Structure 1
């Protein structure tokens, strides 16, 4: 698990950051197109398709990382809940060593030390996307930047 996290960590962070920025950009393009006077269905469908593709990518990353973290925590719970206290000494030592190794390596792919990448992270990104697009549209970012 340690090798997996060390290899995949930077790749996942880059992909999640790219997908998040692309979600914000495509959502802004969709919102600005809907609020402007000129509405072209082809551009709208292209922007909507980009939004859906990056949302699905972000969802798949967070879903599978959340699944890995869940399976790892289930293994830890399974080790703890087996009847290891009534077993013989070598079995107790092995179970205790496995518990220590699994608890010592609290390996999760995290953006910061407190924010883990899971399904809740996708909801945070969507809320952030809505907030950014709302602020940009309310402040007239489209008109001040492009004209």
Structure 2
């Protein structure tokens, strides 16, 4: 197998695996951990009947595939040492707007802070998964 096809295979496998992680992580955070907070602020959110699971799954899939696409750009990384700064930086970028949401949504600061922490962990975890899978021999 040539280097390009190996890289593409690693990107696809890494992206799909990261998507599984993101899906499970988001369910645990939003479906279980934050359920009470969402119920207490029900007036802010779209009614459950109006939610769109396809859009949510698509956004999670695109997030995971974007990491799988961009991570190899950092260059060869057989020991996954570049995953830490890449995931840390991406986590910070994703956490920033979650904190800012407190300024324009009528929600408790705890929701914004949990969103920020979850975004950071999600980015870091997905990056590490992509790094491990895409760097397999």
TM over 0.5: no
TM-score for the superposition, normalised by structure 1 = 0.29
Question: Quick check: which has more Rg, 1 or 2?
Answer: 1
